[in-house]
Structure 1
Amino acid sequence: MPRQLKILILIIIDILLVGFSYVAALALRFDFQIPASNWASLKQHIWIFIALQIIVFILGRMYHSLWKYASIRELVQIMVTIGLSNAVVVAYAYLSIDFFQVNYPRSAFLISTIIDIFLVGGVRIAYRVIPAKIRKYRGYENKKRVLIVGAGDAGAMLMKEINNHTELNSKVVAFVDDDVKKKGMRISGAPVVSTSDDIPKVVKKYQIDEIVIAIPSASKGQVQEIVSVCKKTKAKLKILPGIYEIIGGMVKVSHIRDVQIEDLLGREQVRLDMAEIRNFLKYKTVMVTGAGGSIGSELCRQIALFQPKELILLEIYENSVYDLEHELRGTFQDINLKVVIASVRDRKRIEEVMDQCRPEVIFHAAAHKHVPLMENNPKEAVKNNVFGTLNLAQMADRYGVKKFVLISTDKAVNPTNIMGATKRLCEMIVQSIDRESKTEFAAVRFGNVLGSNGSVIPLFKNQIAKGGPVTITHEDIIRYFMSIPEAAQLVLQAGAMAQGGEIFILDMGEPVKIMDLAQDLIRLSGFEPGVDMKIEVTGLRPGEKLYEELLLDEEGISKTIHEKIFVGKPIFTDYSKILAHLDELRIAMDSQNANVKHLVSQIVPTYKVYEEKKMQKV
């Protein structure tokens, strides 16, 4: 129905209701025995009374509200506007008494005002309530039954939002809250039935289809505990983000998101020494290599927050860095940004870039990282990871870079694959050149990051989206995980702390069993592992370990001022020796029959070469 027609109908209804209220008020005033003189006066002036009230209704914007979503605010608007309109009528009646002889008792005006509020206001509230009731009883059985965890302000606001958005086809049927005093209370008709420990029982009793965790102030550990209980059910699981992610503190349906793997890890927000990082980066020329990658791009986002003099994005793959450039320019209006397309393998190009850009800080994230691919292409792993790092480190020394931070990996510890071995070689390069250079060289070593390109999480999600099966390489394989933003923030903190020669080791928390990870992702997607979605074990890939380590035995470990950053002592510092080894490796690689893995193992004694006769060496 057109909006203008709806307004016209509502005005006609108001005319009838206001007219009725004057007649009813007069009848009540005289116990339904209205004197002839009063009745005659009312008939003479009633149309003026009605017209005045309708004019005030229009001026009071009574016909502009969306009464479908009427609330306390709209009720107040009704009462104020009706009171004002009746005041205008009373003023007219008494100011014109000598001219028109309006014979309408004062008490009747008060009664008519009360009747107006009930009738005119009642029509508008009915406009909201009746269709909702009709929709409820017509489609209640087809609605998703929602359980909200958290009967606080956020939960109450969320319930109102869900009920107002009929397109969601959802109905909040109950709450759970760990405050036992709230048990038995009702929020907009939905009862608080129990605590979070009883979620499985509540889901079964109330036939819940979807659970929404609505506790924005909860810590990561608390959320993890609740999610662990919810996983015992087959209900779809969603969550409101943390309070700092909810703009203005107002809860909206759009804030609800699926529970993510990060929520299952229970890792608390990283606390950074912002002043130290600001002093490290503000007004500095900062270069990030591999800027288009998962870690590199997040480093750029974090660095941009600290107002660098210039941020240089060095990347060989133009598509990813093109997207990043546009993102950063859109987010940081005044940022001084330069994109450099170059490969760290190209020594002359790197020297040219260093001469032109003169960076003061370098974060070196460019690397080949995929273990199976590098196992079959060891020469490329060495060229990019080892000689690329050597090129960049030597140019950093030559052009007076203040700090150089290498992004390393837990796979560099006692490596069983060429990728890990090359990253250990990179660590050896930066630790040894640090002794010879005024540049402060350091490395930061951590495990897997959630959602990075080629990691297990996107792979599992893609397999689930296709209906399965989900594949893992071994039932007992475990890995350390942290989020990409957390890793990037800790890298910046470690870089600020670096004095030269350190290998910083990030606290990765508790290791995660990949089988559990796969099962959790399947459940979070609304399926039952092994029933709705099959899990296949494919066997360990070449060079793959059951578990990763973060520390070599001889490195030892020391605490730093940051609770999540540790430091291992240098164990290789002979720069001339590493250069001699690398010269031999470069010459040997020119041979088509070079056994690159064997050559690398002679330089990296902790590297245990994975042997597979049929493996192709390129």
Structure 2
Amino acid sequence: MPALIQNCVERSTKEIRSNRRLFVADLVGSAGAVLLAMLLQVGWTNWSVAAALVAITLASTAAALPVFGLYRRHLASVSLRDIASIVKGAFATCLIAGLLWIALSGSPGVWATVFVVQFFIAVPIFGGLRVAARRGEFFFVRPAEQTPARAGIPTLLVGTGASCDLFLRAVLRDRNATHAPVGILDDNRETQGLFFHDVPILGSIRDIDTALARMEAEGIRPRKLVLTQPVTQYESDEFQKLLDWADRKAIKVAKLPGLGELQDVTDDPNGTTVREVDVMDVLPRPQKQINRGSLRRMVQGRRVLVTGAGGSIGKELSRQIASLAPAEIVLVENCEYNLYAVDMDLRQSYAAVPVFAEICDIRDRERIMRIFDAHRPELVFNAAALKHVPMVEANPCEGVLTNAIGARNVADAACRHQALAMVQVSTDKAVNTTNVMGATKRVAEFYGQALDRSSEPMCGGTRFMTVRFGNVLGSSGSLIPLFQRQIMMGGPLTVTDPRMERFFMTIREAVELTLLASAHGLQDQIGKGEIFVLDMGEPVRIMDVAQRMIRLAGLRPGKDIDIEIVGIRQGEKLFEELFDSAETVRESSIEGVRAAAPAGVPLSKLQSAMADLEATARDGDAAGVIAILSDLVPGYAPECPGGRSQTAAA
């Protein structure tokens, strides 16, 4: 109990110190109210009586008002909701003062009515002071424990200006708001511990280290950082610390538009503007965070090669590798424009890192070998693939040549030059697959696993690691960009089946966990012959993603935009799986990563089967390709020949 009282006193003292001018004004107003009540009820008596009455009233006011939170609300957020607190505070003040006066004077009588009249005078005075204070520099709030929990994206706001005020008023009034403010960083050091509307002020941008330490201690984990004022209003050094913290925690940074900014509304038949959806907002969980120290130890000062460097995963992989100070980075990509884009990006963002851009299709074994001869990479990441299930289903030979034979070519080149490690990027669609794309990726997994188990005599100890994960939010041609286009066109959003579920992660998560698994596998020599499977949380219904994206765009599912069920496409499954039933699954020593140990296929058998697979694919024999895949990949049972059109064309 003493500790509780001490905490209450400390909190009240801090609130009063921050709102000292309002506190003094309340004392003066309360004293004036009791004097006016005395004049109205009993008339003027003498100065000693008036002084005693004022002294008792001041003590009662100072004791009662902080208890009812009259100094916890920030100036700009004062509103009609404060009336209840004002009435309670005024009533408590008058009650305490009346009881003290009666106890000390021993004459209730007409004096009791003085304090009743004082109450009716004090309420408008306290209210008026708060209305006037809103035009000045005072601060007030209400306790956090009275604030109901809100669903939405946990959001940290920076600044307490007019834009923040309007933003919070809009969010707190909207039960379906997509953002849930969890705290504010102010530019005033004295407002920490107060509240702006119902949102706690966690600290000052001028003392960012203390504010961030408090958030860590209290377990406050925002997923979005919103700047409510122009960045020029923040101290540059402290502001940069905040941005660095957000980057380490994978927190998206956004900015509220200024109140004077205008937005053109064009090509909108409904006269409304649809907000673009941030893919990070779609993920129903915080992004995973990792310690980058082990990544730097793996990459720094080494030659690194990335295939598929112009794709969504490859580009992010290249950027993160470049940020870890490699000796050089070699970008391998068969699309000229994509290679140009990632090359320019790295040269501008990481000018100190030597970058080599090589146009190459990983199907071309001789070209791959020449690139490896020229650069002799120590770390190899194979992110090149044909990944769209319907496209590969319609073109199985092309899928085999890129996903299986191309992966083999890169692995053989890494083996020949005795690289430290090669990492194969795989997919959950390779597990118990019903489509050609998944089967080809499964073959690539088998090949890497077989080489990893026999690497010492063949490849001088090169590690061959495979990382398997699910759908990547925002990657090219994936679900989220499709829904974004459909929303911008006014709908409908197309969902194949209302029961369909998928595992999701962001591009950044996929790449960081891929690098992390690779670093531990290389440094600690763990997971020999195993597949690293990234933890993506629980699967998410596609229908839920569609509805969430519509709401994030500021629209209503089923009213503003419809969702249309179009039926499952060839090769698709309702539910993806992370592990094959024949795999032994164990927890790895890497946080966020589990290990799967398949029985595998002997390397000699695999090499022979892949040679047949390559010859059949180059002949354009789609039916033959599917037959070999069915024999090679356990559990692969295509629903129907996916390459009929290609067979017919051949």
Contact 1:221 1:267 in 2 (8 A): no
Check conservation: 1:390, 1:426, Cα contact below 8 A: yes
Deviation per residue, 1:387-425 (Å, 9 max, x gap): 101111111111111100000000000111000000000
- The partner residue of 1:468 within 483, 486, 491 is 491
Cα distance in 2 for residues equivalent to 1:380 and 1:153: 45
The residue type equivalent to 1:585 in the other structure is L
Q: 2:640 aligns with which of 586, 596, 611?
A: 611
Aligned to 2:366: 348
2 CA distance for matches of 1:613 and 1:174? 49
Residue 553 of structure 1 aligns to a residue in which SS?
coil
Query: Which whole-Å CA distance do the structure 1 matches of 2:422 and 2:492 have between them?
Result: 43
TM-score normalised by length of structure 2: 0.59
- Cα deviation code 1:319-349 (max 9, x no counterpart): 1121111111111121111111111100110
More displaced 10-residue stretch of structure 1: 381-390 or 255-264: 255-264
* Structure 1 SS opposite 2:555: coil
Choose from 569, 573, 597 the match for 1:541: 569
Q: 1 CA distance for matches of 2:352 and 2:295?
A: 20
CA displacement at 1:527 relative to structure 2: 1.4
Q: Tell me, yes or no, if structure 1 residue 443 matches structure 2 residue 445.
A: no
2:245 is aligned with what amino acid? Y
Q: For 2:466, what is the secondary structure of its paired residue? A: strand
- Does the Cα contact within 8 Å between 2:277 and 2:553 map onto a contact in 1? no
User: Whose Rg is larger?
Assistant: 1
- Of the three residues 544, 558, 580, the one matched with 1:530 is 558
Shift of 1:193: 6.4
Amino acid at match of 2:510: A
Q: Secondary structure at the match of 1:303?
A: helix
Q: 1:294 aligns with which of 303, 309, 312?
A: 312
**SS of match in other structure, 2:484:** helix
Show the counterpart of 2:451.
433
Name 2:125's counterpart in structure 1. Answer: none
Residue deviations 1:236-269, cap 9 Å, x none? xxxxx9893499xx99635999764533534334
Structure 1 residue runs of 5 or longer lacking an equivalent are 1-128, 130-147, 164-168, 181-186, 197-214, 225-240
Per-residue CA distance 1:101-127 (angstroms, 9 max, x = gap): xxxxxxxxxxxxxxxxxxxxxxxxxxx
Aligned CA RMSD, in angstroms, stands at 4.0
Aligned partners of 2:467 and 2:642: how far apart in 1? 35
**1:253 aligned partner, one-letter code:** L
User: 1:63-92 CA deviation, whole Å, 9 max, x = no partner?
Assistant: xxxxxxxxxxxxxxxxxxxxxxxxxxxxxx
- 2:159 match: secondary structure: helix
How far, CA to CA, are the matches of 2:156 and 2:643 in structure 1?
Answer: 59
Does structure 1 residue 597 correspond to structure 2 residue 626?
yes
Distance 2:531 2:346 in 1: 30
Say if 1:279 and 1:195 are closer, same or farther in 2 by CA, change over 3 A: closer
Whichever residue aligns with residue 635 of structure 2, its letter is: T
- Read off the aligned partner of 1:525 and give its amino acid letter: A
Give me the whole-angstrom Cα distance separating, in 2, the residues matched to 1:311 and 1:255: 41
Q: What's the counterpart of residue 615 of structure 2?
A: 587
Match of 1:308 in 2: 326
- Is residue 517 of structure 2 the alignment partner of residue 494 of structure 1? yes
Aligned length: 428
Structure 2: runs of 5+ lacking an equivalent: 1-134, 136-149, 174-179, 184-190, 201-213, 225-241, 260-274, 456-460
Is the 8 Å Cα contact of residues 312 and 337 (structure 1) preserved in structure 2?
yes
Equivalent pairs: percent with the same residue? 39
Q: Distance in 2 between matches of 1:364 and 1:298?
A: 13
**Residue matched to 1:6:** none
Deviations 1:367-395 (Å, cap 9, x if unpaired)?
A: 10010000000000001111101111111
Question: Does 1:504 find its partner at 2:527?
Answer: no
Residue 395 in structure 1 maps to residue 413 in structure 2:
yes
The structure-2 alpha-carbon separation of the partners of 1:615 and 1:532, relative to structure 1 and needing over 3 Å to count, comes to farther
- The CA distance in 2 between the partners of 1:277 and 1:605, in whole Å, is 35
Instruction: Summarize the alignment of residues 112-127 of structure 1 with structure 2, pairs less than 5 Å apart.
Output: none
Q: Report the AA paired with residue 320 of structure 2.
A: Q
Local SS of the residue matching 2:543: helix
**Which residue does the alignment assign to 1:14?**
none
Q: Does 1:556 align with 2:579?
A: no
More divergent stretch after superposition (251-260 vs 348-357): 251-260
